[in-house]
């Protein structure tokens, strides 16, 4: 009886490229939001070219809120890094600061609307004012949803449910917050260039 050795080449199964379904859903949502704002800013440019456009200065508070949103992105990133390193107290502090800065941003936007009204720029009237209210209002609604998400993450951090081993929600919140900050900067620069 001969001993035979069975040599077979076994290939390791290829790892499929996969993404957490929640993250994938979030990226689809962010893509949709981006397309929405691209469509609105494109419509803005087309409508402005048709004439009958009132030119006016952007409210000063919009400049302030732009600084606030950048500062909030910094605090959000610090919260993310603290959570990744299991520094719970720092994470709580920076998420709380981000939430406060988000509320300050919204208050500043509302003050901007008040400044617009004081300058006789209304939602109904000239299309230039209408577009400005729609653009800032839609961004504000998305920011409200992000602040709600921040509160959920803050509660999770206080309960000890966010750690270096459980970062999915924190990553999603951080991505969403940075996205909205970047979106505002795009919109703000767009409004400065095309007012």
**Crossing angle for the helix pair 60-84 and 88-118, to the nearest 10 degrees:** 170
Give how far Cα 115 sits from Cα of 101, 182, 194, Å: 21, 24, 19
Assess whether pLDDT exceeds 80 at residue 12: no
Q: Which residue has the higher pLDDT, 12 or 171?
A: 171
pLDDT tens figures, 42-86: 999 999 999 888 888 999 999 999 999 999 999 999 999 999 999
Q: What is the predicted pLDDT for the residue at 125? A: 83
**Domains defined for the chain, CATH in brackets:** 61-193 (1.20.120.80)
User: How many CA atoms does the CB half-sphere of 174 hold within 13 Å?
Assistant: 19
User: How many CA atoms does the CB half-sphere of 30 hold within 13 Å?
Assistant: 19
**Closest-CA residue to 105 (of 77, 138, 66):** 66
Mean pLDDT of 172-189: 97
163 beta partners: 166
Q: What is the pTM of this model?
A: 0.87
pLDDT tens figures, 107-163: 999 999 999 999 999 998 889 999 999 999 999 999 999 999 999 999 999 898 888
Q: What is the predicted pLDDT for the residue at 19? A: 76
Assess whether pLDDT exceeds 80 at residue 178: yes
């Amino acid at each position: 009886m001969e001993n035979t050795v069975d040599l077979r080449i076994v290939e390791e199964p290829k790892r499929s490229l996969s993404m957490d379904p929640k993250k994938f859903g979030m990226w689809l949502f962010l893509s949709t939001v981006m397309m929405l704002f691209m469509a609105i800013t494109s419509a803005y440019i087309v409508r402005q070219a048709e004439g009958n456009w009132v030119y006016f200065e952007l409210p000063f508070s919009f400049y302030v809120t732009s600084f606030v949103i950048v500062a909030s992105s910094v605090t959000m990133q610090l919260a993310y890094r603290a959570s990744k390193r299991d520094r719970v107290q720092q994470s709580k502090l920076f998420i709380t600061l981000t939430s406060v800065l988000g509320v300050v941003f919204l208050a500043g936007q509302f003050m901007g609307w008040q400044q617009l009204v004081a300058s006789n720029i209304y939602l109904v009237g000239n299309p230039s004012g209408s577009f400005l209210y729609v653009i800032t209002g839609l961004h504000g609604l998305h920011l409200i949803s992000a602040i709600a998400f921040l509160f959920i993450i803050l509660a999770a951090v206080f309960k000890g449910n966010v750690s270096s081993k459980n970062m999915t929600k924190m990553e999603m919140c951080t991505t969403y917050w940075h996205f909205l900050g970047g979106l505002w900067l795009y919109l703000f620069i767009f409004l400065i260039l095309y007012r």
